[in-house]
């Protein structure tokens, strides 16, 4: 039996969130375990989507649960957004890596995505509305692009104290001296 994985959500401004993720090449049990643990984390945190960098993995893996019902779950591995279309819509986006922050973000309504499933079989589909929105948000994570980058200057100002608080918390958890800094340098 595969070992049970458990993930925590990596919070802004952890530098792992800024890394560009690598394509998945092995469609094996380890990948299945990662996806299962990502879904478990997403549900526990009451999220509707999660990207692998948010659990500290630089892999191009997204899980989505747009309705909360298992039948609507989506797994997108090595996704490529090949087209974006439709009206540009404004939506209050949240992110598990930015707890408590919801910011207005403008994105096109629809996107066409090529990806593969857990077995490496290719998939292509167009997504719109809430699902299209989540995919575009999660896809950003694979490129190291974060909610804060999508905020207008006004939104950034509105959330400045909450963002500063996350930075303060991150620094407090990681003192600038000691073994942790050494580990970070090697990473
Ligand atoms: Zn996010």
Ligand 1 (ion): residues with CB under 5 Å are 95
What is the whole-number distance in angstroms between the Cα of residue 178 and the centre of ligand 1? Answer: 30
Q: Given 69, 138, 143, 165, which residue is catalytic? A: 138
What is the whole-number distance in angstroms between the Cα of residue 49 and the centre of ligand 1? Answer: 8
Q: Is 70 a catalytic residue?
A: no
What is the whole-number distance in angstroms between the Cα of residue 175 and the centre of ligand 1? Answer: 25
Global pTM value? 0.91
Of residues 85, 72, 76, the one with CA closest to residue 111: 85
Segments in the chain below pLDDT 50: 1, 187
61 close to 98: Cβ distance less than 8 angstroms: no
Please state, in angstroms and rounded to a whole number, the distance separating the CA atoms of residues 84 and 128: 10
* E-only strand ranges, the chain: 49-51, 61-64, 74-94, 102-116, 122-127
What backbone phi and psi angles, to 5 degrees, belong to 10?
Answer: -80, 130
The confidence score (pLDDT) of residue 175 equals: 72
């Amino acid at each position: 039996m595969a070992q049970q994985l458990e993930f925590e959500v990596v919070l802004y401004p952890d530098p792992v969130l800024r890394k560009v993720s690598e394509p998945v090449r092995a469609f094996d049990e380890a990948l299945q375990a990662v996806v299962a643990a990502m879904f478990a984390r997403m549900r526990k945190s009451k999220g509707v989507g999660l990207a692998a960098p948010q659990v500290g993995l630089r892999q191009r893996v997204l899980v989505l649960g747009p309705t909360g019902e298992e039948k609507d779950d989506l797994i997108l591995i090595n996704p490529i957004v090949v087209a974006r279309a439709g009206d540009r819509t404004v939506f209050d986006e949240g992110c598990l890596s930015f707890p408590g922050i919801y910011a207005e973000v403008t994105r096109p309504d629809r996107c066409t995505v090529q990806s593969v499933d857990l077995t490496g079989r290719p998939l292509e589909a167009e997504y719109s509305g809430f699902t299209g929105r989540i995919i575009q948000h999660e896809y950003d994570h694979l490129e190291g692009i974060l909610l804060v980058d999508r905020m207008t200057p006004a939104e950034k100002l509105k959330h400045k104290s909450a963002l500063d608080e996350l930075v303060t918390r991150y620094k407090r958890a990681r003192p600038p001296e000691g073994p942790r800094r050494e580990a970070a340098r090697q990473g």
